[in-house]
């Protein structure tokens, strides 16, 4: 499998992703952007220092100067591009993946490169069409500027907050900001450790949140916050130790943002129809996007939306912030909501809910396109949205079916207003997809 994925570069270190390849990616990236300077950061993975140095060497070999900002959360890398007004910024990270993985997130200003642009980077490498020059290295501490900037944006105090950084880099920024504001902070697994001794740094795995839930209950905390390995994503736990779904968190953010500033809100094709309803009932304009943070960010900037949400926990604030996905900033916004409006569990209990369905069905890569074509034909009379797979909405619920960009999988997701409808629809959808895979 190529390390050039739909949204970034990612692979197993030493096998798919080598120092030589990352050096060439640095060369191709600087060549493609014709960059004279690039910020470079890294997460806490064991291979990140070696890959960061290789990437910087690649930049320098094209005449591009590198500003090394060291060990930081990915949002700090994005911040460096925004705050210092630079086009080129790259992060060495594999986000929430297992410890043997690493990768590179490449930016053009506040947008991340994906899809066709990553293919162009790959083509430059294959054709050995690099720019040639001699660049310099500068080391710069950006994390203090980020902490100062975010601290100046908030005023809440007096909350008890539990952070689980999952041995990633999230606590490096979130803990000092919350303490500076005057909150009581308890940190779990705050020390970056590329061995990830308690498991993959992925807050989507419910078992990984057990320690956070137990600590919130034991300490009578107001809110629990779990960041993934590079802290561009966040999951919340309420004061009763219950995990908020991405839908619930998104609805709370949407209501908060649109109460202050009306505008467009972007959500991805696999997100709940309840999000659309929340946007419209709050006076906003709903815009749907293909899945993937690169696609969502592109639409947010192209249409100057005030907020965007991806079901997996990426939140993009563009009302009073830069618009990139920042789990640390999102955590501060949620804590601010709790400080202003009271108990998080009460706020969640007031939100509408439907019965969810979800399935992942194995599908060989070569069959994915044909399956999607057939699905569009089957559901053509249902007025589907077809920008990324098939999505159908009705009065009693919705469903979406799309191929994964990173796995041999067809994903089914949806929600319905009754348990019976949900079970019946999931059974029917699985049967349709499995039949198409078998026949084609």
So which residues are the catalytic ones? 10, 95, 314
Pairing of the two strands 409-416 and 223-227:
unpaired
SS3 151: helix
SS3 229: coil
Short-list 85, 86, 29, CA closest to 60: 29
Neighbours of 145 (CB within 10 A): 16
Angstrom distance (rounded) from CA 358 to CA 339: 34
The residues, ordered by sequence, that sit 6+ positions from 310 with a Cβ below 8 Å of its Cβ are: 246, 267, 268, 271, 291, 292, 293, 296, 325
Do residues 110 and 324 touch, judged by C-beta distance below 8 A?
yes
Short-list 192, 187, 202, 195, CA closest to 143: 192
Do residues 84 and 91 touch, judged by C-beta distance below 8 A?
no
The beta-strand segments (E) located in 193-320 are 223-227, 234-237, 264-268, 285-289, 307-310, 314-317
Angle, CA of 249, 110 and 406, to the nearest 5°: 65
Phi, psi (deg, nearest 5) at residue 136: -115, 165
Within 61-106, residue ranges assigned H as helices are 74-83
For 234-263, the DSSP string reads EEEE-TTSPBPPHHHHHHHHHHHHHHH---
Residue whose entry in the numeric block shows the structure tokens 């100057």: 304
Do residues 99 and 46 touch, judged by C-beta distance below 8 A?
yes
Angstrom distance (rounded) from CA 292 to CA 355: 24
Do residues 319 and 303 touch, judged by C-beta distance below 8 A?
no
Pairing of the two strands 264-268 and 307-310:
parallel
Return the structure tokens found at 428.
Answer: 């029917």
């Amino acid at each position: 499998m190529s390390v050039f994925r739909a949204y970034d570069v990612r692979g197993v270190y030493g096998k798919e992703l080598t120092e030589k390849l990352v050096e060439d990616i640095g060369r191709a990236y600087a060549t493609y952007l014709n960059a004279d300077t690039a910020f470079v950061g890294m997460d806490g993975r064991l291979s990140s220092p070696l890959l960061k140095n290789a990437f910087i060497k690649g930049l320098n070999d094209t005449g591009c100067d590198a500003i090394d900002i060291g060990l930081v959360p990915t949002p700090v890398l994005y911040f460096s591009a925004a705050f210092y007004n630079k086009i080129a910024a790259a992060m060495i990270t594999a986000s929430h993946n297992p410890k043997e993985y690493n990768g590179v997130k490449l930016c053009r200003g506040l947008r991340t490169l994906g899809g066709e642009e990553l293919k162009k980077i790959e083509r430059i490498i294959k054709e050995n069409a690099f720019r040639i020059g001699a660049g310099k290295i500068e080391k710069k501490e950006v994390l203090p500027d980020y902490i100062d900037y975010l601290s100046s944006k908030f005023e809440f105090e007096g909350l008890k907050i539990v952070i689980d950084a999952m041995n990633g880099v999230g606590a490096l920024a979130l803990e000092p900001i919350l303490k500076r504001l005057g909150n009581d902070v308890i940190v779990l697994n705050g020390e970056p450790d590329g061995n990830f001794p308690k498991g993959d740094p992925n807050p989507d795995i419910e078992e990984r949140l057990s320690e956070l839930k137990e600590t919130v209950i034991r300490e009578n905390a107001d809110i629990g916050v779990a960041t993934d390995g590079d802290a561009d994503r966040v999951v919340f736990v309420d004061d009763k130790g219950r995990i908020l779904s991405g839908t619930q968190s998104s609805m709370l953010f949407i209501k908060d943002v649109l109460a202050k500033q009306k505008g467009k809100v972007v959500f991805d094709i696999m997100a709940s129809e309840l999000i659309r309803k929340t946007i419209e009932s709050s006076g906003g304009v709903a815009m749907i996007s293909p899945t993937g943070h690169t696609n969502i960010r592109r639409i947010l900037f192209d249409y100057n939306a005030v907020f965007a949400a991806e079901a997996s926990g990426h939140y993009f604030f563009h009302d009073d912030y830069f618009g990139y996905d920042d789990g640390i900033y999102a955590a501060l916004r949620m804590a601010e909501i709790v400080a202003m409006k009271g108990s998080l569990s009460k706020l969640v209990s007031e939100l509408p809910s439907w019965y969810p369905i979800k399935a992942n069905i194995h599908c060989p890569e070569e069959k994915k396109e044909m399956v999607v074509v057939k699905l569009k034909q089957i559901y053509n009379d249902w007025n589907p949205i077809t920008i990324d797979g098939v999505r159908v909405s009705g009065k009693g619920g919705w469903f979406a079916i799309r191929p994964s960009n990173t796995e041999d999988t067809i994903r089914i997701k949806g929600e319905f207003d009754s348990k019976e409808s949900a079970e019946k629809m999931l059974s029917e959808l699985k049967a349709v997809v499995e039949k198409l895979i078998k026949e084609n």
